[in-house]
Structure 1
Amino acid sequence: MQDDWQRSLALHDWMIEKGGYAPSIFAYNVVLKNVLRARQWELAEGLVLEMVEKDLVPDKFTFSTLISGYGRANRLEDAMGWLQEMEAGGIKPDLVIFSTLIELAGKVKDYSKATSLFSKLKASGIAPDKVIYNSMINLYGKAKFYKEAQGLLAEMKEAGLMPDTVSYTILINAYAESQKYLEAKQVFLEMKTKGIQLDVTTCNMMIDVYGKLEMVRDAEELFWSMSKTLGIQQNVVTYNTMIKVYKEAELLSEAFNVFYYMQNKGGVEPNVITYNTILFLHGLTLQHEKAMRLVRKMQQRGIEPNAVTYSTLISIYGKTGKYDRAAFLFKTLREKGFEMDEILYQSMIVVYERAGLVAHAKRLLEELKQPDIVPRDTAISILAKAEKLEEAAKLYWRSHEAGEIKESVTYKSMIQLFVRNKRSKNAIDVFENMRESGFLPDSETTVVLLAAYGQLRQLEDAEKLYLDMRERGCTLEKEVHFQMLKLYGDARKIREAEDMFAALKLEGLDGDELYLTMIRIYERASKLNEASRLFSEMKSRQQVGG
């Protein structure tokens, strides 16, 4: 049977060529929609050209269909091209089209384009709705533009749109993901003060935030108040988060109590994450028999253990001296065709090394070099994380030459391994391989690469990397900027450091950490007056902010 797009195209052609029907915008738009769903891009563009040739002017629906179609495929540049065509034809985009493009820009992490579209939306006289504002708060949060995200809450109020649960929850999540837990807590308190309704997602996030701030009692209070006073039904994520908070606070009995309450009174079925956390707690108390029973209970309830489950159990066997059980479990998993990932290999290698079975550990390491047993990317990552420098390096170079590296994380693992072992030249070589393969480094890797260039005294190359990442519109963590600033200081390029410091302040990255980095640069360059002046400026800012 032909696909929908082929049938609709054939019917459309028959109607015009043999049926005697006059071409119409409506008919073309219907066919265009089906063709775009099938991702037939050239055909879609051909249909638009055919419309024009038949003196049919594409309308708002035509362009909306094109923008949505390309948007579903994450083809931002093409979608933006159709927006330009639309405007060139004298058709003004509406709120829905802007919303589609902003969401798409966020999806592909082109935050600068999203910001530009948002500004264009407002400049065109269209009032953003709550959905658009929430999308932009989310985008600013992911881009770590916290000041702008906070500013949108105020802008919403001025526009007569009260920020809702989603608005505040998005901002809390943005702060929490960047480990800015105090700021997340502040947003939550504001949310409560303003009487904004909480939901289960907000509560789950804040239980985790309280845990990270070591405010266990506050986490506990929020957890129990959900069902008792807030009328919010706890879900499996709620219980998992509370158990994790207790685990991190080493309050094991409280964690076990919540686990039992969850099943017996809470009416919530544990999932694999719940069981893995409880299994880890049994490991802390070295109770291998309870750990084994727990895994059996999982399976009886129809929950399949995953690699984390088995690696935790192997580790528990290792810690309790049950090396034969660990080896038997590992062997059984392989024989049953279980997907052996890096976590399992690392756990078993640690057990063998703990038991003094060096030959067995080496045998596993040798197995990693055989692609029919473990994929190359996985093997290299395992060796890198296990700090097996020479083995990882040999396997990497051989795999690279054979074109067997498929994942960006492999390059990242090797770059970090080489820099940790003061082999910066090798790290840069891997980076060149990474670029040739079409991958870009993330912020964490960029910091490491800048440090490598610094060790090699290759400031120009570091600068080139930094500027290239910025020009590409990549979202860079503040650590990247600070590392580049530090390199200027180490090279005694004070003027360049001052220019960069001023530029970062203008971009809103004006926290104490930026000031302290620049102050240290002045101090190392014996420019004590400048350091003192900047310190006073920082203190004045703190007083104004306070």
Structure 2
Amino acid sequence: MPPEAIAFPRTVPCAPPFSVPVPTAPRGGFRSCAASLPVAAPLGGRDVWRRRRTAIDGPPGPLVGNVGAPREHHRRQSGHRYLDRSVDMGELLASLAETTTADELHAVMSPYLNSSGGSGPGRRLPLSLRFMVGLLSREPDWRRSLALLDWMLDAAGYPPSIFAYNVVLRNALRAGQWALAGGLAREMHDRHSLAPDRCTYATLISSLGKAGRLDDALSWLHRMERDGVRGDLVLYSTLIELARKLGDHSKAISVFSRLRSYGIAPDLVAYNSMINVFGKAGLLREAHQLLREMEESDPASAVRPDIVSYSTLLTAYVENRRYVEALSLFSEMRERRIPLDLTTFNIMIDVYGQLGMPREADRSFWSMRKLGVDPNVVSYNTLLRVYGEAELFGEAIHLFRLMQRKGAEQNVVTYNTMIGVYGKSLEHEKAGNLVQEMQKKGIHPNAVTYSIIISIWGKAGKLERAVQLFQKLRTSGAKIDHVLYQTMIAVYERAGLVAHAKRLLSDLKESDDNSVPKETVITILANAGRVEEAAQLFRRAFEVGEVKDIAVFQCMMDLFARNKKHRNVIEVFEKMRGAGYFPDSDMIGVALNAYGKLQEFRKAESLYREMQEEGCVFSDQVHFQMLSLLGARRDFNRVESFLKELGSNPNINKQELRIVAAGVYERANRLDDASRIIWNQAPVDFNETLSEGYAL
């Protein structure tokens, strides 16, 4: 039976916790399944749809469709209280599968109505509640299971069962019926006084989480905790992982804090996820503390860090350009005899290169096979880049040809790196030949490839070839990113053709076609320092909804901040917040700095508190910036109270905090207070200080 032929839906008017309404219909009405219930509707309350009743509520009317007279699905009669053992559930399910409306389903189930009539204590239900829950769990279609639940509650008079509701709710969630699932959970409580249990909430939250509906899942988590139902590690870990994948680090950290506040011990997966989250959020000290916590916990119940724990923290250090800390951690891994994997080797080859230690990178690469780890294309590409940056051109060419002789995989990154190596060694023709070589091997050049080639030709004085290639790319419809445009602009400016560079920028700004996205043009103009042109295009694009990447907002804030246009920084920040984007710690720091430059200290503090309440995780620099702004406002009582607040935060570097606080007092010519802070003495009451005649 095709799903679209079934007409079992209920109508679901939405109620909290979500606010988008779902259309309603009369209580007794029927609507087609495809039209009545949006799949992606938000969760909410539900009005139970009913089959049409006569004036006297009795058995269903005549059958419709292709379902015949009521059939009994008995195996044999028995003397048990219920007919469970004499009813073939498989046959009953097969009969239910033929139904397409609620009336048909009620007709199939009519032989199993209350045989004594009425609903008093003398009634006898032919099928037990346990049998009916089993029948619900085996019914694959959410619409039939919902109609069957209605039959149980309204026609057959079964008592409301949390087990039956949980099964139907699970079926609705599997079909993506979010609104209906939320309505069922609310109906349990509001209509039948059944308190949703851990299974109800876990099913809802896990399904929403797996579907990427993080805010909906967190809303139900809050309700679960409010109702006193305790979640488990799997539930919290699911939400942490979802928030991590969505890049919502603040929410991941919030869920992890709630997990720990309930006394739930994280497992290895949760620890590794949170090390990654803290690293992505730039909270490296917190990430390192988690690793230390794993290492120093009670051995009897400890969760010991594995190679993933260490490599995740290594990656965080590298992404935040903390190469010395990465090297220190790697040395610690060697001392602890942690077995090294491919990811760790690749990270450390990069770290050695960034620290200007190409020989150590070389030694690390060639020791991989001795330790039982085979290098992959990333290993080769990283070492090629290290050789190129160290101007070890001979070693780079040797390794590149060795890859080809051994049949090692080569990709577009490999060729881009080697093209750059030939460009640095002034072998321009060989660089161009590599483009042809990679095309013959079926490796397609990308925008980075062409950017490197154009830059090489520009530096070699072959402007005409660079311009021809760029024009060919524009007319061929190839994808041109902002890096490629900026490379061509730099080539023009290096050759003294400033007018050509301005014309290219003007063409981009005034282009009405969609060959280059407006976000790309804004980024190009901003990186070129064209403040007015970037600002005008940004405002036009924002008004028509073409600015959808938070990186564009950040780019414009940085542009205005560099050019001391602090009002414009605030303008962009407010537009971003109004569009529903959540800023990171760096963007908040830029906004706080703008408020400080404008002497709007109260607005700065209001923003700081607002973002703190919304769960934003600040870096130490943002906290210190807020402290400096309070000092600039010369509100030293607030400075002292804020110092106490920061001092009680275990995640803040106390030594740096004292240095920043001392600087605040030094700038206010309060040298005694600066000395007190440095020597960590008790604070003074600044109201008393004022009465003693000290000038602020």
TM range (shorter): 0.7 to 0.9
- Matched-pair contact (CA < 8 Å) for 1:140–1:148: no
CA distance in structure 1 between the aligned counterparts of 2:227 and 2:606, rounded to whole angstroms: 40
Task: Please list, as runs of the form range in 1=range in 2, the aligned pairs for 1:111-150 lying within 5 A after superposition.
Answer: 111-121=252-262, 123=263, 127-143=265-281, 144=283, 145-146=286-287, 148-150=289-291
State yes or no: 1:395 paired with 2:537. yes
State yes or no: 1:324 paired with 2:464. yes
State yes or no: 1:239 paired with 2:239. no
C-alpha spacing 1:95/1:394, structure 2 compared with 1 (3 Å): closer
**Partner of residue 64, structure 1:** 202
| More helix per residue | 1
How far is the alpha carbon of 1:101 from its aligned partner?
3.1
The farther-off stretch of 13-22 and 58-67 is 13-22
The one-letter code matched in structure 2 to 1:388 is R
**Partner of residue 40, structure 1:** 177
Matching residue within 495, 510, 516 for 2:653: 510
CA distance in structure 2 between the aligned counterparts of 1:432 and 1:166, rounded to whole angstroms: 39
CA distance in structure 2 between the aligned counterparts of 1:210 and 1:54, rounded to whole angstroms: 66
The one-letter code matched in structure 1 to 2:207 is G
The one-letter code matched in structure 1 to 2:213 is R
- Matched-pair contact (CA < 8 Å) for 2:201–2:224: yes
- Matched-pair contact (CA < 8 Å) for 1:137–1:152: no
The farther-off stretch of 373-382 and 390-399 is 390-399
CA distance in structure 1 between the aligned counterparts of 2:441 and 2:420, rounded to whole angstroms: 19
- Tell me the SS of whatever aligns to 1:332: helix
How far is the alpha carbon of 1:42 from its aligned partner?
0.5
State yes or no: 1:407 paired with 2:549. yes
- Matched-pair contact (CA < 8 Å) for 1:207–1:220: yes
How far is the alpha carbon of 1:24 from its aligned partner?
7.6
CA distance in structure 2 between the aligned counterparts of 1:489 and 1:201, rounded to whole angstroms: 46
The farther-off stretch of 455-464 and 73-82 is 73-82
- Matched-pair contact (CA < 8 Å) for 1:102–1:117: no
CA distance in structure 2 between the aligned counterparts of 1:377 and 1:85, rounded to whole angstroms: 40
**Partner of residue 198, structure 1:** 340
Matching residue within 329, 333, 351 for 1:187: 329
Matching residue within 233, 238, 250 for 1:95: 233
- Tell me the SS of whatever aligns to 1:439: coil
**Partner of residue 173, structure 1:** 315
CA distance in structure 2 between the aligned counterparts of 1:535 and 1:252, rounded to whole angstroms: 51
Give the TM-score of the pair, scaled to structure 2: 0.69
C-alpha spacing 1:240/1:493, structure 2 compared with 1 (3 Å): farther
The one-letter code matched in structure 2 to 1:148 is Q
Task: Please list, as runs of the form range in 1=range in 2, the aligned pairs for 1:352-501 lying within 5 A after superposition.
Answer: 352-369=492-509, 370-372=511-513, 373-501=515-643
The one-letter code matched in structure 2 to 1:42 is A
C-alpha spacing 1:81/1:415, structure 2 compared with 1 (3 Å): closer
How far is the alpha carbon of 1:362 from its aligned partner?
2.6
**Partner of residue 662, structure 2:** 519
Matching residue within 435, 449, 461 for 1:295: 435
Deviation per residue, 1:222-264 (Å, 9 max, x gap): 2111112x10111112222222233333333333333333333
The one-letter code matched in structure 2 to 1:421 is N
Deviation per residue, 1:64-86 (Å, 9 max, x gap): 22111111234344324444555
- Tell me the SS of whatever aligns to 2:496: coil
How far is the alpha carbon of 1:363 from its aligned partner?
2.5
Deviation per residue, 1:119-169 (Å, 9 max, x gap): 145x2xx55432233333333444412453234223545423322112222
Identity of aligned residues (%): 49
State yes or no: 1:283 paired with 2:423. yes
- Matched-pair contact (CA < 8 Å) for 2:149–2:164: no
CA distance in structure 2 between the aligned counterparts of 1:512 and 1:47, rounded to whole angstroms: 54
Deviation per residue, 1:502-543 (Å, 9 max, x gap): 4333323125443332332232222333434544569xxxxx
Give the TM-score of the pair, scaled to structure 1: 0.87
How far is the alpha carbon of 1:199 from its aligned partner?
0.8
CA distance in structure 2 between the aligned counterparts of 1:536 and 1:251, rounded to whole angstroms: 51
**Partner of residue 48, structure 2:** none
Number of corresponding residues: 533
- Matched-pair contact (CA < 8 Å) for 1:70–1:78: yes
Deviation per residue, 1:440-485 (Å, 9 max, x gap): 3333322222222222222222222222222211122333223323
CA distance in structure 2 between the aligned counterparts of 1:84 and 1:463, rounded to whole angstroms: 28
- Tell me the SS of whatever aligns to 2:141: helix
- Matched-pair contact (CA < 8 Å) for 1:504–1:510: no
CA distance in structure 1 between the aligned counterparts of 2:616 and 2:424, rounded to whole angstroms: 41
**Partner of residue 10, structure 1:** 143
- Tell me the SS of whatever aligns to 2:564: coil
**Partner of residue 36, structure 2:** none
The one-letter code matched in structure 1 to 2:349 is I
CA distance in structure 1 between the aligned counterparts of 2:677 and 2:148, rounded to whole angstroms: 76
The one-letter code matched in structure 1 to 2:500 is H
- Tell me the SS of whatever aligns to 1:368: helix
Deviation per residue, 1:199-230 (Å, 9 max, x gap): 111221222222233333332222111112x1
Task: Please list, as runs of the form range in 1=range in 2, the aligned pairs for 1:148-167 lying within 5 A after superposition.
Answer: 148-158=289-299, 159-167=301-309
Deviation per residue, 1:27-84 (Å, 9 max, x gap): 7655544533453310211333566657987554443221111112343443244445
CA distance in structure 1 between the aligned counterparts of 2:385 and 2:648, rounded to whole angstroms: 40
- Tell me the SS of whatever aligns to 2:461: coil
The farther-off stretch of 27-36 and 436-445 is 27-36
**Coordinate RMSD, CA, aligned:** 3.2
- Matched-pair contact (CA < 8 Å) for 1:35–1:43: yes
Query: Which sections of structure 2, spanning at least 5 residues, go unmatched?
Result: 10-32, 34-139, 682-696
The one-letter code matched in structure 1 to 2:145 is H
CA distance in structure 2 between the aligned counterparts of 1:395 and 1:90, rounded to whole angstroms: 52
The farther-off stretch of 196-205 and 153-162 is 153-162
- Tell me the SS of whatever aligns to 2:321: coil
CA distance in structure 2 between the aligned counterparts of 1:181 and 1:388, rounded to whole angstroms: 34
CA distance in structure 2 between the aligned counterparts of 1:387 and 1:38, rounded to whole angstroms: 51
CA distance in structure 2 between the aligned counterparts of 1:434 and 1:127, rounded to whole angstroms: 38
**Partner of residue 13, structure 2:** none
C-alpha spacing 1:388/1:532, structure 2 compared with 1 (3 Å): same
How far is the alpha carbon of 1:310 from its aligned partner?
1.0
CA distance in structure 1 between the aligned counterparts of 2:618 and 2:214, rounded to whole angstroms: 20
How far is the alpha carbon of 1:345 from its aligned partner?
1.3
C-alpha spacing 1:132/1:254, structure 2 compared with 1 (3 Å): same
- Tell me the SS of whatever aligns to 2:344: helix
Rg comparison, structure with higher value:
2
CA distance in structure 2 between the aligned counterparts of 1:28 and 1:528, rounded to whole angstroms: 69
CA distance in structure 2 between the aligned counterparts of 1:301 and 1:34, rounded to whole angstroms: 50
CA distance in structure 2 between the aligned counterparts of 1:521 and 1:320, rounded to whole angstroms: 51
C-alpha spacing 1:51/1:419, structure 2 compared with 1 (3 Å): closer
- Matched-pair contact (CA < 8 Å) for 1:210–1:216: yes
The farther-off stretch of 189-198 and 9-18 is 9-18
How far is the alpha carbon of 1:334 from its aligned partner?
1.8
Task: Please list, as runs of the form range in 1=range in 2, the aligned pairs for 1:259-278 lying within 5 A after superposition.
Answer: 259-265=400-406, 267-278=407-418
Query: Which sections of structure 1, spanning at least 5 residues, go unmatched?
Result: 539-546
